[in-house]
C-alpha cells in the first residue's frame, strides 16, 4: 500500500454529535479530517467510525496514528 499524504502535522480537535463518520486515510481530502472521496485515485479507503455520544476528541491529520481516527502523537515523530 502507498504512503498517505500528511494533511497536517497536528491533530484537529472536534466535538462531534452522535453519528457515523468517514475519516480520510489518504490525506488528500479537502475536508480534513473527513473523507471527500479524493481517495478514488489511490489504493486507500476511508475509515468509517461511529460516535455514540457527543464528545470532543483530537483527530489524526498526519495519517500515521496507530489509533485512527484519533491522534496518538505520532505526528511529533514524523520527519525525525
pTM of the predicted structure, to 2 decimals: 0.92
- Contact call for residues 68 and 46 (beta carbons, < 8 A): no
Query: Residue 69 sits in which domain range?
Result: 12-77
23 in any annotated domain: yes
63 in any annotated domain: yes
Q: Give how many domains the chain has, as a whole number.
A: 1
What average pLDDT does the segment 12-17 reach? 98
6 in any annotated domain: no
5 in any annotated domain: no
pLDDT one-digit tens code per residue, 51-75: 999 999 999 999 999 999 999 999 9
3 in any annotated domain: no
Among residues 17, 14, 40, 13, the alpha carbon closest in space to that of 29 is found at 40
22 in any annotated domain: yes
Amino acid at each position: 500500500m502507498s504512503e498517505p499524504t500528511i494533511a497536517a502535522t497536528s491533530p484537529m480537535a472536534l466535538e462531534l454529535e452522535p453519528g457515523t463518520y468517514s475519516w480520510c486515510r489518504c490525506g488528500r481530502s479537502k475536508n480534513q479530517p473527513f473523507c471527500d472521496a479524493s481517495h478514488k485515485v489511490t489504493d486507500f479507503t476511508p475509515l468509517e467510525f461511529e460516535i455514540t455520544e457527543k464528545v470532543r476528541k483530537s483527530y489524526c491529520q498526519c495519517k500515521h496514528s496507530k489509533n485512527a481516527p484519533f491522534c496518538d502523537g505520532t505526528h511529533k515523530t514524523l520527519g525525525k
